[in-house]
Amino acid sequence: MSADSTSSAALMLQPPPPDPAFGPAGNGAQRAMELFTMIQDRHVAISPGLARDLAELERTLTPASDPNWGRAYGLASEAIGLRGKMGNSAPWQRLFPRFVLAVVEPIMRKGVVENRFELSLTIENPEYRAVSDFEGACRRMEEWVRLALADKTVMGQAFWACAGVSLLLAFRRQNVGRRAQTVLQLPPVPDLQLTQMVFCLEPKLEDDPLWRKKALKPSARSNRLRVGVRPREGGVTGVLHTRRLRDLPDALPSAFVVPEKIRVLKLIEEGFMIPDRPPYRRPDRNLLSLTMQAPETDGLGAAHLVKAAWIDATIRLRVLLANMSLRKSELGHAHMRDTGTCCAAVSFSGDSTKARFDPLQIKGDFRRQAVSQAVMFADVFDMLAPATKNTQSPRDRAVEVQARERLVLTCLREQAEGMRAGSMEDYASICLIEVAPAVTRGDEIVNVVWRDDRRALMRRYGFDAADTVHGARILCPPEVVSGAHFTICDDAFSEPQKIEVPEAENAEEALAKIVGAVSGWIIKQNLLAVAHG
Q: How far is CA 326 from CA 24, 300, 474, in A?
A: 64, 34, 25
**Residue 54: predicted pLDDT:** 93
Task: Give residue 92's pLDDT.
Answer: 92
Q: What pTM does this model have?
A: 0.79
pLDDT band at 483 (very low <50, low <70, confident <90, very high): confident
Whether the pLDDT of residue 404 is over 80: the answer is: yes
Q: Are 279 and 231 in contact (CB under 8 A)?
A: yes
Does residue 211 or residue 489 have the better pLDDT?
Answer: 489
In the structure, what pLDDT confidence band is assigned to residue 400 with cuts at 50, 70 and 90?
A: confident
The model's confidence at residue 293, banded by pLDDT at 50, 70 and 90, is very high
Q: Give the pLDDT confidence of 82-129 residue by residue, as tens digits.
A: 998 999 988 899 999 999 999 999 999 998 888 765 544 444 544 444
Q: Is 164 exposed, middle or buried (0-12, 13-18, 19+ CB in 10 A)?
A: buried
**Tens digit of each residue's pLDDT (9 = 90 or more) over 63-88:** 999 999 999 999 999 999 999 899 99
Q: What is the pLDDT of residue 465?
A: 63
pLDDT bracket for residue 316 (50, 70, 90): very high
pLDDT in tens, 147-170: 999 999 999 999 999 999 999 999
| More confident: 71 or 466 | 71
- DSSP string of 258-316, one letter each residue: S-HHHHHHHHHHT-EEEEE-PPBP--SEEEEEEEEE-GGGTT-HHHHHHHHHHHHHHHH
> Which pLDDT belongs to residue 221?
42
pLDDT at 518: 94
- Categorize the per-residue pLDDT at 1 as very low, low, confident or very high, splitting at 50, 70 and 90: very low
pLDDT surpassing 60 at residue 50:
yes
pLDDT computed for residue 449 by the predictor: 81
Dump pLDDT digits (tens) for 419-439.
Answer: 555 677 788 889 999 999 988
Report the alpha-carbon distance of residue 292 to residue 18 in Å, rounded: 57
- For the chain, the 3-state helix, strand and coil shares in percent, each to the nearest 5, are 50, 15, 40
Rounded Cα gap, residues 323 and 321, in angstroms: 5
| pLDDT for 313 beyond 50 | yes
Tell me the pLDDT of the chain averaged across its residues.
79
pLDDT of residue 282: 62
Length of the chain: 533
DSSP bridge partners of 471: 432
Cα dihedral across residues 515, 520, 523, 529: positive or negative:
negative
Predicted confidence at residue 245, as pLDDT, reads: 80
Distance CA 345, CA 322 (A): 17
> Would you call 168 exposed, middle or buried from its count of C-beta atoms within 10 A (0-12, 13-18, 19+)?
buried
Of 242-246, 247-251, 414-418, 496-500, the least confident: 414-418
Q: Give the confidence band of 284 by pLDDT, cuts at 50, 70, 90.
A: confident
Say what the pLDDT of residue 259 is: 86
Confidence at residue 215, expressed as pLDDT on a 0 to 100 scale? 53
pLDDT of residue 475: 92
- Most confident region among 160-164, 294-298, 504-508 by mean pLDDT: 160-164
pLDDT of residue 219: 43
Given a contact cutoff of 8 angstroms between Cβ atoms, the answer to whether 295 and 437 are in contact is no
Residue 96, CA atoms < 13 Å, CB-side half-sphere: 17
How confident is the model over 349-355, as a mean pLDDT? 65
pLDDT value, residue 220: 40
pLDDT at 418 over 80: no
Higher pLDDT, 378 or 232: 378
Average pLDDT over residues 320-337: 87
Regarding predicted confidence, which is higher, 331 or 275? Answer: 331
**Which pLDDT value is given to residue 491?**
87
If DSSP codes are grouped into helix, strand and coil, which group holds residue 52?
Answer: helix
| pLDDT of 386 | 64
| Higher local confidence (pLDDT), 306 or 382 | 306
pLDDT band for position 22 (50/70/90)?
low
